[in-house]
Structure 1
Amino acid sequence: MTFENSLAFAQEQDKLDPLAHYRQQFHHPVINGQQVLYFTGNSLGLQPKSARDYINSELDEWAKWGVEGHFHGKNPWVSYHEILTPASAELVGANESEVVCMNSLTTNLHLLFVSFYQPDGKRFKIISEAKMFPSDRYLLETQVRHHGFDPDEAIIEIAPREGEFLLREQDILAAIEEHKDELALVFFGGVNYFTGQLFDMKTLTEAAHKAGALAGFDLAHAAGNVPLHLHDWNVDFAAWCSYKYLNGSAGNVAGIFVHDRHGNNTDIKRFGGWWGHDKERRFLMENNFQPMTGAEGWQISNAPVMGMAILKASLDIFAEAGMPRLRKKSLKLTAYLEYIFNQVVAMFPDYQLQIITPTEPEKRGCQLSIKLIGSDKKFFEALTQAGVIADFREPDVIRLSPTPLYNSFEDVYRFGETLRNLLSQSHH
């Protein structure tokens, strides 16, 4: 469609938007007396207004029942995690048996690596993207050291070519082919946190399997952002957090996916805990761990119910809105942000601000990463002072994420106006 850089156009798009009413279901921060433009759902999603009621409901159950709340009450705590499963499975394109919410993201990845990084003879290498999120990099380093390998030898990082910002898929596939005899695992962030590049997980999984390796993904920036079909793509395992696009609150409970072909194999090595043990016999307090089938068999501990209540508030909104509709709006909203940004920056040729996220809509989610060439963090700080909440990643990248549940086309237009004012002030 043809965009326009005008308030009237933005407001018209909001009127036509079938998801516009969801914006009112979230608290929008007011900082220093002004309602800010919030573009950092890729870091921490906004609070659903319903979250307070969902928590209060569990606080009331606790007050009323005490320990008996595990078995009585509206949502008995002993099975609370199970009520998050249908919406979570829908979001990542999985069977319900393949998904469970538990722990936190990197904890879950370590637990999954126990099962799915099993170096065997000369097969010990892991292929991943260079400049992955530090927690993932530390995960890989410590896992390979745990098995007695040198990270420099065991971890093969695929970097962008000289002068480029994005990874080329052909370079990843070439590396898989080159190292196929020594490869144990292909492990990527589904969407790169720094550039916002969305990887073709289906193709990477097929290539890993052809090479005799497994494929796993960190979906921190993908879950709730882009359509996922983990089961159909044949992905072996994946994990995600809930506090970014899923609006689950800071550091809240995370989720895992384990493909049924692994989940149904209870002989796979893993670390055990009583919540992963056969639930029919859980309270018999026996020795000898008997894992449940499916992703639930990777659980360790009982559910953090208060955090899960907040996540349920958000997942209920996702279930109602649906990822296909959210993606449709997201594509348009992100394209509008790209258009507005390019329009404004073209007025100030002295400034080198460049979007480094893929321009092809199918190769990105809603995040646009902007490189401040020849500039530093001061520009980002000026943006924050002017009421735009984005985030900064060293050395010189600002990340903006217009999320379809609570951002509007008018937000994007007003961002453009703020950007224009800032650039014209510094221009003089």
Structure 2
Amino acid sequence: MSDYKLGLEYALQQDQNDDLKSYRNQFYIPKDKKGNDLIYMTGNSLGLQPKSTKYYVNQELEDWANLGVEGHLEAKNPWLSYHEFLTESMAKVVGAKPIEVVVMNTLTANLHFMMVSFYQPTKARYKILIESDAFPSDKYAVESQLRHHGFDDKAGLILWKPRKDEELLNYADLEAILEAQGDEIALIMIGGVNYYTGQYFDLKRITKLGHKHGCNVGFDCAHGAGNVALDLHDSGADFAVWCTYKYLNSGPGSLAGCFVHERHAYNKKLNRFTGWWSHNKQTRFNMRDEFDQLPGAEGWQLSNPPILSMAAIKASLDMFNDVGFENLIEKSKKLTGYFEFLLKQLGKDTIRIITPSNPEERGCQLSIQVKNADKTLHDKLTEVGVISDWREPDVIRCAPTPFYNSFEDVYRLVEKLKNILSPS
């Protein structure tokens, strides 16, 4: 969509014509001290709360109150199999088969559990390749895996870096690294959407390249799940992990998701940590049986899951089912395209967008640099009712999220930014 127009009237007309406009009213929008809606642009950090969440959680609180332990079998949504209520919906969101997906643990914990299985170093092939500006937790996790296996965490870490005076990563450089060092690399672990630049990587291309050189390939999709069409199954990746509190709106610190490709589903020889929740469901409560591993991603579970957190995830996923993820993506591209259009009107000498301009290479987030600005600019935006996200050294991240952000939100954000930069 390239026929964007200036002016508030255009934004209001787009909102009026938006088939998804009613969903905004299904979320709690934070308000200022006067009771006005804030402009919330940080769904890439913490998604807003669906109004239905309290009812989903209250259902489990009531069943716990009324049934006690019997809720495992007799609750309206029996707790024993509660995670299964999430599987099909989550699989749709990340483009996977149900056997490939499970909701469990938290993000970095899942990354470690995946590396137990898919980082199997030898003396000759032990290195791990990541983006040079990977999310810190990913970097810390892979460094600790190198140390755990007895390797130097600096010599064993290979960084895919952007070129000089550029922010985005280039696939030709990745190919060159693998041509030169591919036989030394045991694992490629990339953030599916880079947290800082918003660059959405071609997961299938990276996976094919990695597998060509004998590397296992995994992705941290924290900034991709619920934001872009990940198509994890078709990507061929060995594994992926993601959180659910950003675009999946499940609440702070909520449970995470995990993908293990179908080709690994029945491989019981694959090394892993285990617990009773990865044991055969039919005999799990016999207690004294030898371990009998479940097939698929469920076979990586350890403990019985926290139901209250899963109830919040279910509330959100039911909304995704209702709206249709492809419809969210369609609106997202229009909304972020409009945001980009308005920012460019401020002038290239003032604003620089480091996120890719190709809508297929980004989600809803735009990362912007403002010439000669520091964190005081972000602070001023906050003061005028914009909740955005500052990342050192000089980037403001804004994510117009299609579930609850409007074209009017985007218009007013840019107007406030313009007034701060050029006060009348």
Residue 345 of structure 1: CA displacement? 4.1
Deviations 1:246-277 (A, max 9, x none): 00100001010001111211221111111111
Q: 2:177 aligns with which of 157, 175, 178?
A: 175
Cα distance in 2, alignment partners of residues 286 and 297 from structure 1: 18
Amino acid at match of 1:420: K
Is contact 1:84–1:312 with CA below 8 Å preserved after alignment?
Answer: yes
Separation in structure 2 between the aligned mates of residue 269 and residue 99 of structure 1, nearest angstrom? 18
Asked whether the equivalents of residues 198 and 365 of structure 1 are also in contact (C-alpha less than 8 Å), the reply is yes
Deviates more, 1:54-63 or 1:176-185: 176-185
2:379: which partner in 1?
381
Where does residue 260 of structure 2 map in the other structure? 258
- Please tell me whether the aligned partners of residues 44 and 244 of structure 1 are also in contact (alpha carbons under 8 angstroms): yes
SS of the residue corresponding to residue 31 of structure 1 reads coil
Task: Indicate which of 355, 367, 370 corresponds to 2:368.
Answer: 370
Distance 2:117 2:3 in 1: 50
* Contact map agreement 1:109 1:239 (CA 8 A) in 2: yes
- Name the counterpart of 1:21: 22
Residues 66-121 of structure 1: CA deviation (Å, up to 9, x unaligned)? 01000112110011000000110001111101100001000000011000000023
Could you tell me whether the CA contact under 8 Å between 1:173 and 1:204 is conserved in 2?
no
- Asked if the contact 2:344/2:351 (under 8 Å) is kept, the reply is no
State the shift of 1:321 in Å. Answer: 1.3
Decide whether the 8 Å contact of 2:204 with 2:236 is kept in 1: yes
The question of whether the paired residues in 2 share the 8 Å contact of 1:37 and 1:389 is answered with yes
**Corresponding position of 2:330:** 328
- Tell me the residue number matched to 1:360: 358
Q: 1:341 and 2:339 equivalent?
A: no
Inter-partner Cα distance in structure 2 for 1:228 and 1:17: 24
- Equivalence for 1:411: 409
Match of 2:390 in 1: 392
Q: Return the letter of the residue paired with 1:379.
A: L
In 1, the alpha carbon distance for the partners of 2:175 and 2:41 equals 33
**Deviation for aligned residue 1:12:** 1.0
Contact 2:255-2:309 at 8 Å conserved across structures: yes
| Mean Cα deviation higher: 69-78 or 260-269 | 260-269
Gaps in structure 1 of 5+ consecutive residues: none
Residues 1:9 and 2:7 aligned together: no
Cα distance in structure 2, aligned partners of 1:18 and 1:166: 34
Work out the CA distance in 2 between the residues paired with 1:206 and 1:193.
23
Mapping of residues 99-248 of structure 1, within 5 Å: 99-248=101-250
1:313 to 2:315 alignment: yes
Question: In the aligned structure 1, how far is the partner of 2:186 from the partner of 2:396?
Answer: 35
* Matched residue, 1:289: 291
CA RMSD, Structure 1 to Structure 2 (Å): 1.1
3-state SS, counterpart of residue 275 of structure 1:
helix
Question: Counterparts in 2 of 1:48-59, with a 5 A limit?
Answer: 48-59=50-61
Name the aligned partner's letter for residue 420 of structure 2.
Answer: L
Question: What is the CA–CA distance in structure 1 between the aligned matches of 2:410 and 2:156, rounded to whole Å?
Answer: 44
Task: Provide the C-alpha distance between the structure 1 equivalents of 2:92 and 2:403, rounded to a whole number of angstroms.
Answer: 17
Q: Equivalent of 2:77, from 75, 85, 93?
A: 75
Cα distance in 2 for partners of 1:166, 1:335 equals: 19
Runs in 1 of length 4+ with deviation above 3 angstroms? none
Partners of 2:103 and 2:316 in 1: CA distance:
14
User: Could you tell me how far apart the structure 2 residues matched to 1:207 and 1:145 are?
Assistant: 26
Q: Where in structure 2 are the equivalents of 1:56-67 lying within 5 Å?
A: 56-67=58-69
Amino acid at match of 1:14: D
Following superposition, the deviation at residue 374 of structure 1 comes to: 2.3
Structure 2 Cα separation of the partners of residues 289 and 153 of structure 1: 38
Give 1:373 deviation, angstroms. 3.5
For residues 2-42 of structure 1, give each alpha carbon's deviation from its aligned partner in whole angstroms, at most 9, with x where no partner exists: 11121111111111111111111100001322321000000
Q: Aligned equivalents of 1:27 and 1:99: distance in 2?
A: 29
SS of the residue aligned with 1:257?
strand
Is the CA contact (8 Å cut-off) linking 1:344 and 1:419 kept in structure 2?
A: no
Compute the displacement of 1:305 (Å).
0.4
Percent of aligned pairs sharing the same letter: 53
Q: Count residues in correspondence.
A: 422
